[in-house]
Amino acid sequence: MDCIAYDLEDSVTPGKKAEARSNLREFLSRDRVPNIKEQAVRINSVDTGFALDDLTEVVRKDLLSLKIDQADK
């Protein structure tokens, strides 16, 4: 499998954001399944006020991709 993407934006309600971040951080700290080449995280848009917390919780050295949606162009 080329990539697994974890979504912290639309798939998580505002009241569950902190719990989702914590769960994802714990999950990403485990050894990666050997056949997964890349892990990506879709964070919340900067203007939501959640983006910095998303970054603080989930960025790690072997996270190869980060998706920021709804960024102003």
Is 32 contained in some domain? yes
CA gap 64, 70 in Å, rounded: 20
Q: What is the dihedral of CA 24, 1, 51, 20, to 10 degrees?
A: -20
What is the DSSP-derived secondary structure letter of residue 26?
Answer: H
Tens digits of pLDDT across the chain (73 residues) = 788 889 999 999 999 999 999 999 999 888 888 888 888 889 998 889 999 999 988 887 666 677 776 655 5
Is 48 contained in some domain? yes
Is 73 contained in some domain? no
Tell me the residue range of the domain where 51 lies: 3-68
Is 21 contained in some domain? yes
pLDDT at 71: 57
Interaxial angle between packed helices 51-58 and 17-28, expressed in degrees from 0 to 180 and rounded to the nearest 10: 20
Using DSSP, state whether 68 is helix, strand or coil. strand
- pTM flag (> 0.85): no
Please answer whether residues 29 and 62 qualify as being in contact, where contact means their C-beta atoms are separated by less than 8 angstroms.
no
pLDDT at 36: 87
The number of folded domains in the chain is: 1
Is 29 contained in some domain? yes
